[in-house]
Chains A and B, each alone.
Chain A
Amino acid sequence: MSWTVVAQKDFRDAGRSKMLWAVSVLFVLFAAGAAFIYAQIPALQQGGANNAISSLGFVHFLQSPVTMLVPIIGLLLGYKAISGEVENGSVKLLLSLPHRRSSVVFGKFVGRVSVLTVSIVVGFAVATAVMLALYPNVSPGRFALFVLLAVLFGAAYVSIGVGVSSLTKSTTIAGASIFGIYLLFNWLWETIGLGIGWVLSGTFFFTEGIPNWFQLYTRLSPNGAFSNVAGPMLSDAGIQEALTLTPQPGDPFYLSTWFALLILLGWIVIPIALGSLRFRSRDL
């Protein structure tokens, strides 16, 4: 398959990027450091009344830092994937060979998600080592699930990055775009939602509970989708049960965990699909 050759090449190439190594080291330090700090500060622990240190508690502790760092890694991995090659001309080497444009986009996505996975897995492996040394009570299954969700979350941002990258010849424009996207999903999304609420109802405050549309809206961003999948999945509930969970009993299906998971998967598929369509139809 053509895309596997592109993915392999890209994994080798992107895997040698110094920037990427710096980010990965940062991630390892962050995961291991968090594991260590979590063990040191009982106040941060959510292990319950017995104050036992648990990996599940640790995973909760990791969740919000992950939502801040993983998007940066994903976007940085993605934004030069196509635009960088078009800008400097190496895409001419790539497309002189018998690859379809769509195979190039998809292969690059897979190559870069692989790099991201290596960086996340290494980071969490180090964290696991720290945990095994410090924690009496490790739940490896849920921890592995969290790593998988973090990879999916990262893949969504790689997809967004690669998608943006296929729209432009300029890495400067692609860079500015991913910066904007990061701000939007990490800092502005809820504020915009509140703004919409104000337009709809004339107030910033939801006096009669949070309306369903607003809950759905927050889940439409990759970050919201991820949090709403990770939360129930990492609770004590069984996986089956967690998937069908909604915030309140009787909430509509679109507020259930599996729907949030669907949204997250949508963020993986749709940006590269759109990028691929655009890249296919344009002059290099």
Chain B
Amino acid sequence: MAAIELQGVTKRFGAVTALNDLDLTVKNGEIYGFLGPNGAGKSTTINVLLDFVRPTDGTATVLGHDAREESTEIRQRVGVLPDGYHVYDRLTGRQHLQFAIDSKEADDDPEELLARVGIAAAADRKAGGYSKGMAQRLVLGMALVGQPDLLILDEPSTGLDPAGAREMREIIHAERDRGATVFFSSHILGQVDSVCDRVGILREGELVAEDTVSGLRDAIDTQSTLVVRVDQTPPEIEQRLRALDGVSGIMVDDTTITVESNDGSKSAVLSTIEESGASIEDFSTEDASLEDLFMAYTNDDRKVVA
């Protein structure tokens, strides 16, 4: 049984299609990174899983339960860090935890959970006075109540400093090691490659790529990025470069030409630039990163031919 299973899920808000016939499977016990730029539909997907919004079409199953019909059963076994939430300003951190514990009829110790997410010292302060990062820790603590079988974390690193983001990753790993499945969304790739077993990339409501992190790496191993600084950018340089074999992406700025290409076509790129009338002042190559791939999948502005 899969932890999460979406089949043909479509969600329209008026004329806007947020999710378009989305199929997605998250296996039991894995850490799944759900990537995509803002507005791709990540939060909508999570809202469908939690029955916050109802799909226009398709079905969603979480831990074997139908997301629409058996939502309370699902939420009993799932820990959630939602997006765009707001804490209860007038209740303390401890009261928040106690509320989650009472709601799930769990027997956790609020103290222990607050310590685990690093805000034990603020337990008796009203959450309205918490910083964004502290609120994020508090809600993560609420998500951990009752040893959930599945953690759904929407942009978990929001508001956290680098140390906080590292603690978040450690908690995610610890929860997976305990046996939980972790599904988290992010628009920042750097959070994903060190944590996830598998990654799915969502764009405009559709899953455009899905693989293990190493699988994605293999796919881009032969790629590299060439950054060339020139005195001027000749007209039609883009078309001329695009015509070359092995070039997969081009971005032209004022005096910088960035080319994504096979390792073998570097010299062809450089000579094409010189032949078209520009003189090269400097150039460097970088191995393509997951970031580049992510951008290639998600960003139109870079005119990438993926």
Contact = CB atoms under 8 A, between A and B. Distances in A.
Nearest to B73: A98
A5 B75 contact: no
Given A13-B91, A89-B86, A96-B75, A283 B102 contact: no
B149 to A, nearest CB: 13
Contacts of B54: 283
Nearest to B99: A9
Interface string A191-228: 00000000000000000000000000000000000000
B104 A98 contact: yes
Contact of A16 (B82, B83, B90): B90
B47 A90 contact: no
Given A2-B103, A90-B85, A98 B90 contact: no
Contacts of A88: 86
Given A5-B103, A92-B85, A284 B52 contact: yes
Interface residues of A, number: 22
Interface in A1-37: 2, 5-6, 8-9, 12-13, 16-17
Interface string B232-248: 00000000000000000
Given A12-B95, A90-B85, A5 B102 contact: yes
Contact of A98 (B75, B91, B96, B99): B75
B142 interface: yes
Q: State the majority secondary structure of interface residues on A.
A: helix
Interface string B96-109: 10011011100000
A92 B152 CA distance: 13
Given A5-B102, A9-B99, A100 B72 contact: yes
A77 to B, nearest CB: 14
Contacts, number: 79
Contacts of B47: 283-284
A89 to B, nearest CB: 4
A283 B52 contact: yes
A188 interface: no
B88 A13 contact: yes
Given A96-B75, A98-B76, A99-B103, A90 B88 contact: yes
A270 B103 CA distance: 27
Contacts of A90: 85-88
B103 A95 contact: no
B112 to A, nearest CB: 19
Nearest to B54: A283
Interface string B124-167: 00000000000000010011000000000000000000000000
Contacts of B76: 98
A49 interface: no
Interface residues of B, number: 31
A93 interface: yes
A89 B100 contact: no
Given A90-B86, A92-B84, A97 B100 contact: yes
Interface in B64-85: 72-73, 75-76, 78, 80, 82-85
B50 interface: yes
B50 A283 contact: no
Interface string B36-67: 00000000000100111110000000000000
A97 B143 CA distance: 9
Contacts of A13: 88, 90-91
A88 to B, nearest CB: 4
Interface string A82-105: 000000111011011111100000
Nearest to B72: A98
A95 B50 contact: yes
A145 B76 CA distance: 42
Contacts of A89: 82, 84-86
B203 to A, nearest CB: 23
Contacts of A8: 102
26 contacts: A2-B72, A5-B102, A6-B103, A9-B88, A9-B91, A9-B99, A17-B90, A89-B84, A89-B85, A90-B85, A92-B83, A92-B84, A92-B85, A93-B87, A93-B88, A96-B50, A96-B80, A96-B143, A97-B100, A97-B142, A98-B76, A99-B72, A99-B75, A283-B47, A283-B53, A284-B53
Interface of B: 47, 50-54, 72-73, 75-76, 78, 80, 82-88, 90-91, 95-96, 99-100, 102-104, 139, 142-143
Closest 5 CB pairs between A and B?
A: A96-B80, A97-B103, A16-B90, A92-B82, A283-B53
Given A9-B95, A93-B82, A98-B72, 4 more contacts: A5-B102, A96-B75, A97-B104, A100-B72
